[in-house]
Amino acid sequence: MKHIYLNLKRFDVPTEFGGVNRIAPVAEWAEYIVKNTQDELKKYDRSEVEFAMYFPEVHLLNAAKAKTEDSPIKVGCQSVYRADTAVGGNFGAFTTNRPASAMVAAGCETTIIGHCEERNDKAGILAEAGVTDTDAVNRLLNQEIKCAIERGMTVLYCIGEKSEEQDQWQEVLGKQLEIGLKDVDKSKVVIAYEPIWSIGPGKTPAGKDYITKIARFVKEQTGGMDIVYGGGLKQDNAAMLASIDEIDGGLIALTRFQGEIGYYPEEYLEIIRLYMGK
Q: What is the pLDDT of residues 146-193, one digit of tens each?
A: 999 999 999 999 999 999 999 999 999 999 999 999 999 999 999 999
Other Cβ atoms within 10 Å of 259 Cβ, number: 6
pLDDT at 201 > cutoff 90: no
The CATH number given to whatever domain includes residue 98 is: 3.20.20.70
Domain containing 166 equals 2-276
Other Cβ atoms within 10 Å of 224 Cβ, number: 11
Of the residues 50, 118, 161, 194, only one is catalytic, namely 194
Q: What is the pLDDT of residue 278?
A: 85
Taking only the tens place, the pLDDT of each residue in 55-86 is: 999 999 999 999 999 999 999 999 999 999 99
What contacts 191, CB < 8 A, 6 or more positions away? 156, 157, 158, 159, 177, 218, 222, 225, 226, 227, 228
pLDDT at 202 > cutoff 90: no
Q: What is the pLDDT of residue 15?
A: 98
226 forms beta bridges with: none
Of the residues 115, 118, 144, 161, only one is catalytic, namely 115
* The total number of structural domains that make up the chain: 1
Q: Can 115 be counted among the known catalytic residues? A: yes
Q: What is the pLDDT of residue 157?
A: 99
Taking only the tens place, the pLDDT of each residue in 112-153 is: 999 999 999 999 999 999 998 989 999 999 999 999 999 999
24, 32 contact by CB (below 8 A): yes
Taking only the tens place, the pLDDT of each residue in 252-274 is: 999 999 999 999 999 999 999 99
